Structure 1
Amino acid sequence: MSTVTPPHTWTYALRLPHDPRAARVARMTVRSVLDSHGRPEVLDTVELLTSEMVTNTYRHTNGPASLRLTALADGRLRVGVWDSHPRIPSPFGLPPRDRVPLAAADGEGGRGLRLVQEYADCWGGWPLGDGLLDRGAGKLLWFEVGG
């Protein structure tokens, strides 16, 4: 009888409604997936950055979002968040990537993408669709940690 060994690579995807609770659902999903795959070393960082990115999709778009977690063969973890808005914010644009300025000390927002810049090993973004015929195709923002 042969033993089945789980693969080192895996992918989970989750569709998120435009709902203020979506970030909480994303955090719970990330925690469950990373716990089940024995990845405690990246859990806090991935949970925080995922929450920030999903919160931005709720705050800056009017449509649904999607979350994808992918374990890459070299031990890195890639997290992608899709939304329907086509604009790619700093620091996700094409190299040389813009640096996100520090948020005002008394400001209520403006720290999420700075956290991605500080804690992710790498990140990026892609527009989806040509912007003319594929209105609403949106963008995919991603970051990687670990490895």
Structure 2
Amino acid sequence: MPAWPPSSTAVFGREVVVNTCFAVSPCVDRSGVLEDDTRRVSSMRRLVRDRLASCGLRGLLDDAELIVSELLTNSLLHSGGTEISLALCVVDDELRIRVGDGIPRVPHPPRQPGDDAESGRGLDLVGYLVNARHGAWGVSSDGRFTWCILSTAEEG
């Protein structure tokens, strides 16, 4: 399996599905997320759905859309940055997804939410979906990107 994510912000792959970047307002806390920013996440979900459908990857639509939504939302809520990038590409039998915020930090294991917590389970869900698709996910060593790889071998 080739190294992922790439060391630069360029997307390497045979078929670039999505490569975009959008501005967001720095989020101080969960209640500080602006409606415009939540709409951007929603529009990115629709973009991913449309692009994967046009590439004949309909069987990945739901999982990829949910993964992209979780990764974008995490970046929006936790980075404090002003820009988020989203890249998807198809390489051989893999769909590669990368979300970045450009903020270097030491990656740390996700915290475990309490039984009554209303949030904090997104990365567990990402991990489950990635494993079900025989893939992998992680965070770049400098903390700027979260990435995942999903197998497309069972698709079209």
TM-score, normalised relative to structure 1: 0.73
Q: SS state of the match for residue 21, structure 1?
A: helix
**Which ranges in structure 1 are unaligned for 5 or more consecutive residues?**
1-7, 92-99, 129-137
Render the CA deviation track for 1:92-137: whole Å, top value 9, x for unaligned: xxxxxxxx64x33321110111111111120122245xxxxxxxxx
User: For structure 2, which runs of at least 5 residues remain unmatched after alignment?
Assistant: 1-12, 25-36
Moved more, 104-113 or 27-36: 104-113
Question: For residues 57-95 of structure 1, what are the alpha-carbon distances to aligned partners after superposition, in whole Å with 9 as ceiling and x for unaligned?
Answer: 11112311000001011x21000001033233436xxxx
Q: CA RMSD in A?
A: 2.0
Amino acid at match of 1:66: S
Rg larger in structure: 1
Which runs of 4 or more aligned residues in structure 1 lie more than 6 Å from their structure 2 counterparts after TM superposition?
Answer: none
Shift of 1:16: 2.0
Please give the alpha-carbon distance, in whole angstroms, between the structure 1 residues aligned to 2:123 and 2:103: 16
Counterparts of 1:142 and 1:84, CA distance in 2 = 13
Trace 1:73-92 onto structure 2 (pairs within 5 A): 73=92, 75-87=93-105, 88-90=107-109
Give, as a single letter, the amino acid of the residue that structure 2 aligns with 1:117.
Answer: G
Look up the match of 2:43.
25
TM-score, length basis structure 2: 0.69
Match of 1:68 in 2: 87
CA contact 2:81–2:101 (8 Å) conserved in 1: no
Partner of 1:36: 54
Instruction: From the two aligned structures, give the one with the greater helix fraction.
Output: 2
1:122 has 2:132 as partner: no
